[in-house]
Structures are given as structure tokens and as C-alpha cells.
Copies of this chain bind each other. A is one copy, B any other.
Amino acid sequence: MKSSIGEAIQISLFGESHGEAIGVVINGLPAGIPIDETYINHYLDLRKPKGKISTSRQEQDKLHIVSGYFDGHTTGTPLCIVFENSNTHSKDYHNDKMRPSHADYTANEKYRGYQDYRGGGHFSGRLTAPLVAAGSIARGILEQKGIVIGSHIAKLQDIEDLPFPEQETDALACLQQLNQTYFPVCDCDVATQMQTRIEQLAKVGDSAGGILETMVLGMPTGVGEPFFSSLESVLAQLLFSIPAIKGVEFGLGFEFCNFTGSEVNDAFYMDNAKVKTKTNYNGGINGGISNGMPLQLRTVVKPTPSIFIEQETIDYQTKENTTLQIQGRHDPAIVHRARVVVDSVIAIGILDLCIQQFGPTWVGV
């Protein structure tokens, strides 16, 4: 019944795609944190639709900090961010034909027809804008502590990107590069291939999904709470709240099935007085707690369900079978836009668990 998440840091989202405004309330941010709006806007920009591979709906997403922020710093009391909705075409939406694989039908059943159906209402991907704003504040705090998050599109249909570099310094450079790039892949040629594929699909009114791979460098050891707030549990709960995410795996993930224990146990060794593991098949997590190695995880983003190809469905009113030709403005792929949302919720989850483990003074302001 609640739309909030987190223990030390609590996030509460509100709003609908075509309502007046959307926003987020963040509780638990320590006082005295400087906020760089340029930094947040950079990540909001990475989330915006751009070019032929995205919807033509252009929202300003103007950052509007309404409370909890004074004289350039957080106050320690609830910080609220509001984005006004401006570029809405509500007439494109009707509450009669269920769009397949959308939340139209399920929300209608859940709320007995009272939900705001326009543009997916509260279940719209638009709600991820305030999530990115909140996540960027968290990300900024983590970066001050040397924790850097980055993701690339590892796979889009049959097109695969290069893996993250093995050396940590190379990996760090790669993450920083990705965080400056709108279409996040390690290999430029692959970027072109993937974008071309999306444009081809857009032309025929179809859509694509993809797999995001995320790395977090600089993770402190000891982060993750028993029993139900393991590092994997907390990140997965956040990740699966992002619309279109249908799978999450850590380290080797589903590939673990194909190996024996002796092949995939990560042997410990001392590296200049620091404990490390020779391999990182567990993705930096043992027993639900970070082990100081890079955090590695993958999420799958399903193909956007809003396609322009005619689909079979049902008419709500008549309860009869019918066909649907979706109107409006839609993304032929959202995997590139979802990237920064994935990074954002990971930042929120890690910050929450770090403050639980180390206390609010860990933030160091």
C-alpha cells in the first residue's frame, strides 16, 4: 500500500504521466550536502528522448527543488523535487482498448476503473524522471566517497557490446566515458549498429529491448543487511520497480548453472595489504554483503510494448475481441534511456545501505 522505499534514505514517488506534475520526496538525506543542479540535469538529459530512436514527446524536465534545500545545501529535512508535465497529448489516450503488455488492464482491474489511464498514469516510464533526480543526488554523494556507477548496453537483439575492461583503472575510465555518452556502449561501432537496428524497427512500427550491464567501482566492504535486505535484495527490489525490467542477475548470474563450484568460487588473495578475489564471478557480493570487489550486475529491458503495428486486444466496455492501432508518440527502444534509471536506483540502494552500515556521518559533510 505504500509507494516508498528505503530505510536510512526513503524515497516516495508521486504523479501520473499526464497529470499536473510528478515528483519525489527524499527523507533521510544528511544536512549540509551541496547540490549541483548541473550535475543532476546532466543525468536527466541522458534520460530524455532524443533522435529517431526515441519518442518525440519532449518534456522540459525542469528540476524544481521545492523543499529540504537552503543556501546551496540540503537541510536534513525532507527534500521534495517536482517536475511539471507540459507536453501532454492526453487525447491520444482512451480507456477502452487495453494496450497489450502495458499496465492498462491490470491497473484498471486493481483500481476498478478509477486509475488515471492517460499515458499509463502512475505506471508510466515518465515517473522515472524524479527517480533519476533523486538517484543523481545519491550518485553525487557516492562519488565523493569514491564510488562510481556506470552501465552499458551489453546486448541488443543479436548485437553485443564489448565487455567492461578487466583492469580497474581502465574500467573506471570506461564508466566515466559511458556516463558522458547518450547511447551507452563501450564500442563505437556497436553503437552505430544498435542505433541502426532501432531505427529500422521504428520504421516498421516495432520495438527492441536489450540487456544492461552495470559496474560499481569503489564499493566499501560490509554493505548489505541480513536477512531480507541483502545487497542483491535491495538492488533487485529497486530495479524491478522500473517499468520494463524483467530480469536481474549478479555476477555470473544464470550462467552459474553451467559451472561447478571449483570453477566459479572466487579465491581470496592479498593484494598490497588489501583482500581481493582472483575472479569476480559473484559480482562483488558474498552472502548478500559487498566484499570490496567491483559490483557487477545485469538487467534486461523488454521491448517497448507501445508498437504501431496493429495488435489483437479487447474492448473494455463491450468485453469483445477487437484490434488496436496505437496512436501517440512512443519509443522504439528505451534501453538506452533506462540506463540512467538503472544507475540511479542502484545509487539510491547503495547509499541507503551505506548509511545503515556506517551512519550518516559517513557522508562526510
Stretch among A141-149, A168-176, A183-191, A229-237 lining the B interface: A229-237
Q: How many copies does the complex hold?
A: 4
Interface positions, chain A 263-313, Cβ under 8 Å from B, are 263-270, 273, 275, 277-278, 281-283, 285-292, 298, 300-307, 309, 311-313
Would you give the 0/1 interface string for A1-29, flagging 1 where the beta carbon is closer than 8 Å to chain B?
11111011111111110011111010110
Nearest residue, chain B, Cβ from A24: B25
The answer on a CB contact under 8 Å between B229 and A2 is: yes
Task: Say yes or no: is A195 at the interface (Cβ < 8 Å to chain B).
Answer: no
Bound: A264/B209 CA distance, A: 10
Task: Say yes or no: is A73 at the interface (Cβ < 8 Å to chain B).
Answer: yes
Bound: A227/B20 CA distance, A: 18
Pick the contact of A261: B22, B115, B303 (CB < 8 A): B303
Nearest chain B CB to A291 CB, angstrom units: 5
Task: Say yes or no: is A206 at the interface (Cβ < 8 Å to chain B).
Answer: yes
Bound: A1/B31 CA distance, A: 12
If the complex has contacts A75-B115, A76-B115, A246-B249, are A319 and B4 also in contact, measured as CB distance less than 8 A? no
The answer on a CB contact under 8 Å between B253 and A300 is: yes
The answer on a CB contact under 8 Å between B226 and A122 is: yes
Bound: A265/B243 CA distance, A: 15
If the complex has contacts A237-B228, A262-B206, are A313 and B268 also in contact, measured as CB distance less than 8 A? yes
Task: Say yes or no: is A321 at the interface (Cβ < 8 Å to chain B).
Answer: yes
The answer on a CB contact under 8 Å between A2 and B7 is: yes
